[in-house]
């Protein structure tokens, strides 16, 4: 009987321990990049259709951000230049056809979509990463196209056709100058947090078709032998990445520069430094993107490798790749690009029919020290909540808010603390007011709320109730219970998410009728 009792106690201890471990596995770090790509090309994510009114475009974008906020995102990566065009007013390139249905046509009634999108993201405490496609010029070539104002007809020597698309030729110095100027213009005029490229540099190879850059190679690649064209192409891309890094930082040092490459740098069979994968195309050998060099040289602030394969996939195993990228961060940030669009109960791949596959990706990547977050392609997939994944993010994996990880090589100096925090009861909740003394206005404030005195001062994510701009230096906490005693702290965040020391704590018992409406300090 005694032995049976000991066995039962041991089993109970093991169960409690496992529950505890499961809770810990679901508790995120306080800092984690959580982003969604919002694709505008072909109206993938926004706007839903070309030609919508300005009010409808704005309403759709706000709704999209609200969905992403529910999912736990703290950043959006928005495609602002899909194909030598612009989702904003530009003197360099025409309005995008995916905005109003015709290239060069402005929104009606007129507004600046990029300015609007940035403001709405910042109002929700979300970073805005402006996503550019550097070299795609025409998404699908139309033989009848005859717009004499378009750059492809004004500067035909800059472009080549490959497959059904038209591309800038990366080997031409004037092309690199032009693309750099396009991006410098946005950095200068707009309050973006980052400049972002995806995986398209030289395009993915078409079987049996060589990229038609023989003329530019003959003109600009004279120092390379005929069998070194691939090296020349890589150097062309290296050059523009270096140019962009210098250009962005010279305009605004705090603006981040990040790239989301294809998930495989090189296969190990071609390079012992590569991953143990069998990818059909790779960054280095096919897209001529030597992303490791860019990280080593400090030209980038972050990478988001697109690892859109399941755990255990024989050609490119998710676990093998996150392990490899973790070992190749070179002191910069690595976030993992996740293919949320693949989650589907009707998928031909069994793994994507499993509701646990994508959550398991997140749990696995969190085990690595150098993997600091995720980005999901694309926004509409999170809105669709495939196999309940978005609900899983909201209820479990992103249950608590997270601050964007700090990039201390750019800036590590925290702002000053808010001071003179006061609280008082209102009929709608508890109102917090504070005074701001920072010489540069903080980007956001973090509101911490505690229900137990022993927890006060722990700046852990479970105590964060809000992260927002609060330009008027007040916050109304409506998620409170009558006659419940609460304690609050507030911290300031600069635009690079450095966090101040907390304000002095303040305590109050919620009394909605105002009988207990004074201020409590301790």
Domain ranges of the chain: 29-138+171-397, 419-509
Q: Is 344 exposed, middle or buried (0-12, 13-18, 19+ CB in 10 A)?
A: middle
Element holding 365 (H helix, E strand): helix 357-365
pLDDT digits (tens, 9 = 90+) for 190-245: 999 999 999 999 999 999 999 999 999 999 999 999 999 999 999 999 999 999 99
User: Would you state the pLDDT for residue 100?
Assistant: 98
Report d(CA 106, CA 353) in Å as an integer.
42
pLDDT of residue 3 exceeding 70: no
pLDDT digits (tens, 9 = 90+) for 308-332: 999 999 999 999 999 999 999 999 9
Radius of gyration, CA atoms only, the chain: 25
**What is the architecture of the domain spanning 419-509?**
Sandwich (2.60)
d(CA 292, CA 390): 32
The whole-angstrom separation of Cα 93 and Cα 74 is 30
Q: What is the pLDDT of residue 26?
A: 46
With cut-offs at 50, 70 and 90, classify the pLDDT of residue 2: low
Alpha-carbon distance of 356 to 361, in angstroms, equals 9
Are residues 432 and 447 in contact, defined by beta-carbon separation less than 8 angstroms? yes
Residues 514, 427: contact at Cβ < 8 Å? yes
For the chain, give the mean pLDDT. Answer: 93
Quote the pLDDT of residue 369.
97
Residue 163 pLDDT > 70: yes
Q: Which CATH superfamily is domain 29-138+171-397 in?
A: Glycosidases (3.20.20.80)
CA distance 99 to 106: 8
């Amino acid at each position: 009987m005694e032995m049976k009792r000991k066995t039962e106690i041991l089993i109970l201890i093991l169960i409690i321990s496992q529950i505890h471990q499961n809770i810990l596995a679901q508790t995120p770090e306080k800092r984690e990049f959580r982003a969604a790509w919002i694709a505008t090309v072909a109206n993938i994510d926004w706007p839903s259709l070309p030609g919508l009114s300005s009010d409808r475009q704005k309403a759709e974008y706000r709704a999209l951000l609200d969905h992403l906020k529910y999912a736990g995102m703290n950043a959006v990566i928005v495609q602002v230049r899909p194909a030598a065009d612009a989702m904003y007013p530009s003197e360099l390139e025409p309005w995008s056809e995916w905005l109003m249905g015709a290239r060069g046509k402005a929104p009606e009634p007129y507004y600046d979509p990029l300015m609007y999108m940035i403001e709405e993201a910042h109002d929700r405490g979300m970073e805005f990463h402006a996503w550019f496609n550097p070299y795609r010029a025409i998404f699908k070539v139309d033989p009848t196209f005859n717009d004499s104002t378009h750059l492809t007809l004004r500067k035909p020597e800059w472009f080549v056709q490959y497959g059904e698309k038209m591309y800038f030729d990366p080997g031409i110095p004037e092309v690199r100058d032009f693309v750099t100027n396009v991006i410098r213009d946005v950095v200068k005029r707009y309050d973006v947090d980052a400049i972002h490229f995806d995986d398209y540099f030289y395009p993915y190879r078409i079987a049996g078709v060589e990229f038609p850059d023989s003329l530019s190679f003959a003109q600009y690649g004279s120092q390379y032998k005929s069998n070194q064209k691939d090296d020349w192409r890589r150097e062309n891309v290296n050059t523009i990445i270096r140019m962009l890094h210098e250009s962005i930082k010279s305009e605004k040092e705090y603006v981040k520069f990040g790239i989301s490459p294809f998930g495989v740098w090189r296969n190990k069979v071609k390079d012992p430094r590569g991953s143990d994968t069998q990818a059909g195309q790779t960054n280095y050998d096919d897209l001529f993107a030597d992303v490791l060099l860019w990280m080593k040289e400090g030209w980038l602030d972050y990478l988001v490798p697109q690892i859109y394969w399941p755990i255990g996939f024989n050609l490119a195993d998710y676990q093998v790749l996150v392990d490899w990228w973790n070992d190749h961060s070179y002191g910069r940030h690595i976030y993992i690009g996740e293919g949320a669009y693949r989650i589907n109960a009707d998928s031909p791949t069994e793994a994507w029919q499993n509701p646990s596959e994508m959550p398991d990706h997140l749990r696995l990547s969190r085990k690595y020290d150098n993997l600091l977050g995720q980005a999901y392609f694309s926004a509409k997939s999170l809105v669709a909540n495939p196999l309940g994944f978005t609900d899983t993010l909201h209820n479990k994996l992103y249950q608590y808010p997270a601050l964007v990880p700090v990039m201390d090589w750019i800036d590590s100096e925290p702002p000053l603390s808010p001071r003179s925090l006061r609280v008082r009861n209102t009929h709608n909740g508890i109102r917090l007011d504070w005074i701001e003394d920072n010489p540069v206005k903080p980007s956001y404030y973090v509101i911490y709320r505690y229900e137990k005195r022993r927890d006060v001062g722990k700046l852990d994510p479970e105590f964060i109730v809000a992260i927002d701009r609060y330009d008027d230096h007040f916050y109304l906490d409506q998620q409170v219970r009558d006659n419940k005693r609460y304690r609050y702290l507030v911290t300031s965040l600069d635009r690079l998410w450095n966090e101040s020391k907390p304000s002095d704590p303040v305590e109050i018992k919620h009394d909605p009728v105002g009988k207990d409406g004074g201020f409590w300090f301790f």
